C-alpha cells in the first residue's frame, strides 16, 4: 500500500482496509466530535446517560467509536464513578479466527432488555383487557335496550305505535259494548243536525 492510499484509508490514527470502512469511521468521528462538544463541562450522570444511549443504539462499530467510548469510561472514572458500575463496551464482531469448527462465532451482540419495555408491554396488555371488557359492556347495553319493555331511542317508534294500537283496540271494544247495551235497552240517541 503506497503512502497516498495509506493516508486515504487512515481515520483518527486507524488504518482501514476498505473505502466503506473509512466512510463509516468518518461518520463516527463526526458523531464523536458532536457528542464531545455537547457533553463538555457536564456531570458524570449526563456522561453516563450519553454513554448508555450510545450502547443501546449501537452507535459505534469501528475502532474510532470504540476508542471514544473507552475515553468516556476513563472520564467517568476520573469523575468518581465506580468502574464496576460502568457497562463494558460491546464489540459486535469476533476477533479469534482460530475457533474450533464446532463453535459458531457470535456475529452480533444483543443488549439485555431493559425493565422499561416490560412495563410498557404490561401496560399495553392491561389496556387491551380493559378495552375488551368495555366492548362487551357496550354490546350488553345494546342487547338490553333492544329487548327491554321500556321505550328507548332505539325502539320508541314501535313502542308508541303499539301503545296507540292497543288504545284503539280497547276503545273499539268499549264502543261495541256500549252499542250492544243500547240495543238491548232499545235506546236511540238523536243526533243533532244543525
pLDDT confidence of residue 41: 85
pLDDT confidence of residue 142: 83
DSSP helix/strand/coil, 88? coil
Least Cα distance to 89 among 105, 109, 75 occurs for 109
Q: HSE, CB side, 13 Å, CA atoms: give it for residue 115.
A: 0
DSSP helix/strand/coil, 93? coil
Every domain of the chain and the residues it spans: 3-85, 121-147, 151-194
Residues of the chain with pLDDT under 50: 100-103, 105, 192-194
Query: Could you tell me which residues are beta bridge partners of residue 124?
Result: none
pLDDT confidence of residue 111: 55
Q: Note the pTM of the prediction, 2 decimals.
A: 0.48
Least Cα distance to 68 among 7, 13, 21 occurs for 13
Distance separating alpha carbons of residues 9 and 92, to the nearest angstrom: 21
Handedness of CA 78, 82, 87, 91 (dihedral sign): positive
Distance separating alpha carbons of residues 127 and 92, to the nearest angstrom: 37
**Displacement of CA 108 from its chain's centroid (Å):** 26
pLDDT confidence of residue 117: 67
For residue 171, give the H/E element and its range: helix 156-185
Query: Could you tell me which residues are beta bridge partners of residue 102?
Result: none
Amino acid at each position: 500500500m503506497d503512502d497516498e492510499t495509506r493516508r486515504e484509508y487512515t481515520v483518527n490514527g486507524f488504518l482501514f482496509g476498505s473505502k466503506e470502512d473509512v466512510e463509516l469511521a468518518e461518520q463516527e468521528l463526526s458523531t464523536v466530535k458532536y457528542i464531545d462538544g455537547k457533553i463538555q463541562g457536564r456531570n458524570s450522570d449526563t456522561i453516563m446517560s450519553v454513554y448508555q444511549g450510545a450502547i443501546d443504539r449501537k452507535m459505534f462499530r469501528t475502532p474510532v467509536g470504540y476508542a471514544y467510548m473507552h475515553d468516556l469510561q476513563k472520564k467517568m472514572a476520573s469523575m468518581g464513578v465506580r468502574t464496576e458500575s460502568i457497562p463494558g463496551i460491546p464489540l459486535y464482531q469476533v476477533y479469534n479466527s482460530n475457533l474450533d469448527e464446532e463453535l459458531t462465532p457470535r456475529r452480533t451482540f444483543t443488549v439485555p432488555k431493559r425493565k422499561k419495555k416490560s412495563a410498557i408491554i404490561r401496560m399495553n396488555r392491561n389496556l387491551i383487557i380493559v378495552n375488551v371488557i368495555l366492548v362487551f359492556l357496550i354490546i350488553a347495553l345494546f342487547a338490553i335496550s333492544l329487548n327491554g319493555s321500556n321505550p328507548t331511542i332505539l325502539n320508541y317508534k314501535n313502542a308508541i305505535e303499539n301503545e296507540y294500537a292497543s288504545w284503539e283496540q280497547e276503545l273499539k271494544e268499549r264502543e261495541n259494548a256500549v252499542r250492544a247495551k243500547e240495543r238491548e235497552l232499545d235506546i236511540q240517541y238523536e243526533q243533532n243536525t244543525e
